[in-house]
Structure 1
Amino acid sequence: MGGQASSQLFAVPDQEQILRETGFSQATVERLYQRFQVLDKEEKGYLSKEDLEGIGELAVNPIGDQIINAFFQDGRETADFQTFARVLAHFRPAEGPGGSENVNSRLSKLKFAFQLYDQDKDGKISRAEILQVLRLMIGIQVTDEQLQCITDRTIQEADKDGDNAISFEEFAKSVEKLNIEQKMSLRILK
């Protein structure tokens, strides 16, 4: 009975480090590892983009591709369990103020959200990148002209230095009144 849970504890690679880095409970890390193993159908010990594309919720999410790409930063083509847990930790509900280094702190969540928009990773969200994300999120529900108006207004309101793009600092300032900790949380990741 209890032997299965404790043997599972030792099967999770780098569990102690993952617990420290993510703030997940031991039970959550074990559940995530089980999910990771289900996604890793060929038991390779890592996931590919194709493995994550099979998740129904991501397939129907308008920015599912951007979320999937977050697992494969710096040109990596695979994601091990530690990377899988780190990325998912951005969606863990915040528990109190937390330090700025905490993976689910406001600052960390803002950086993660910024990266979803900054597709070319140049440190700025360009007009074209905003338009691309809006097209994905809103789709055919509005005209291209309306999307361009929304994009223009977004740049106009957030771009304080006049470079026709949004830096991370401008992005953070423009969403400072949003409860990003709640909006980027999944209750299942406590």
Structure 2
Amino acid sequence: MGTASSMLTQYDIEEVQQHCNHLFSQQEIVCLYQRFCQLDRNAKGFISSDEFLSIPEFVMNPISQRLVKMVDGLNFKDFVAFLSAFSTKASAHQKIELIFKVYDSDHNGKVSFKDILEVLKDLSGSFMSDEQREEVLSQVLKEAGYSKDCYLTLDDFNKVLGQSGVKMDVEVPID
């Protein structure tokens, strides 16, 4: 795919489609490529965390700093693969896997009470005290059959969230 300023070939589009499990149409991939090129201001072939933070909607997200760690330095193919979890065609499992990665910030395959508490703090900000967050989280875990001392795996996330009908869809605007 060369540099970000080069054009996509049909082969490139098909390769990206395969990389993202065909969750985006060819037209959507072309539109995503145009957006990628806009974000890749220096045409270096990847998007830096600073470039991601130039997206107002991204910066406004309370967990943007966690997401930046996941997306910093992505090339176009990996950029589309990351976004594929937000596709309307993505499975609940794919969406839950991304959510799990947000919580599993140390990438050890386990999410602790502390990990969840940190995300909850990002999401709730100053609206809740640390004690309120701990109390709420302890109660939610208890109701789901977990204790404060256990670690949650991706399978646990699937078990708990898979029944809730996870909604995190973003449609790619087609020009």
With structure 2 as the length reference, what TM-score do the two structures score?
0.85
2:172 aligned residue: 188
Q: CA RMSD in A?
A: 2.3
CA distance, structure 2, for counterparts of residue 13 and residue 139 of structure 1:
46
CA distance, structure 1, for counterparts of residue 145 and residue 11 of structure 2:
43
1:125 correspondence with 2:104: no
Map residues 1-20 of structure 1 onto 2, 5 A cutoff: 8-10=7-9, 14-20=12-18
Q: Which amino acid aligns with 2:78?
A: T
Equivalent residues of 1:91, 1:189 under 8 A apart: no
Equivalent residues of 2:8, 2:30 under 8 A apart: yes
Q: Percent identity?
A: 30
2:85 to 90, 94, 114: 90
Structure 2: which 5+ runs fail to align?
Answer: 1-5
1:55 aligned residue: 55
Q: Which amino acid aligns with 1:81?
A: F
3-state DSSP class of the match of 2:111? strand
Question: Structure 1 residues 161 and 168, CA, compared in 2 at 3 Å: closer, same or farther?
Answer: farther
With structure 1 as the length reference, what TM-score do the two structures score?
0.79
Q: Which amino acid aligns with 1:86?
A: A
CA distance, structure 1, for counterparts of residue 108 and residue 173 of structure 2:
30
Post-superposition shift, 1:189?
6.6
Deviations 1:133-180 (A, max 9, x none): 011111111222111111212332345588522222222111122111
3-state DSSP class of the match of 1:18? helix
1:99 aligned residue: none
Deviates more, 1:37-46 or 1:19-28: 19-28
CA distance, structure 2, for counterparts of residue 108 and residue 171 of structure 1:
11
Structure 1: which 5+ runs fail to align?
Answer: 1-6, 73-77, 95-103
Deviations 1:66-106 (A, max 9, x none): 2222224xxxxx21100111101110002xxxxxxxxx222
Equivalent residues of 1:37, 1:43 under 8 A apart: yes
1:79 correspondence with 2:63: no
CA distance, structure 2, for counterparts of residue 153 and residue 120 of structure 1:
25
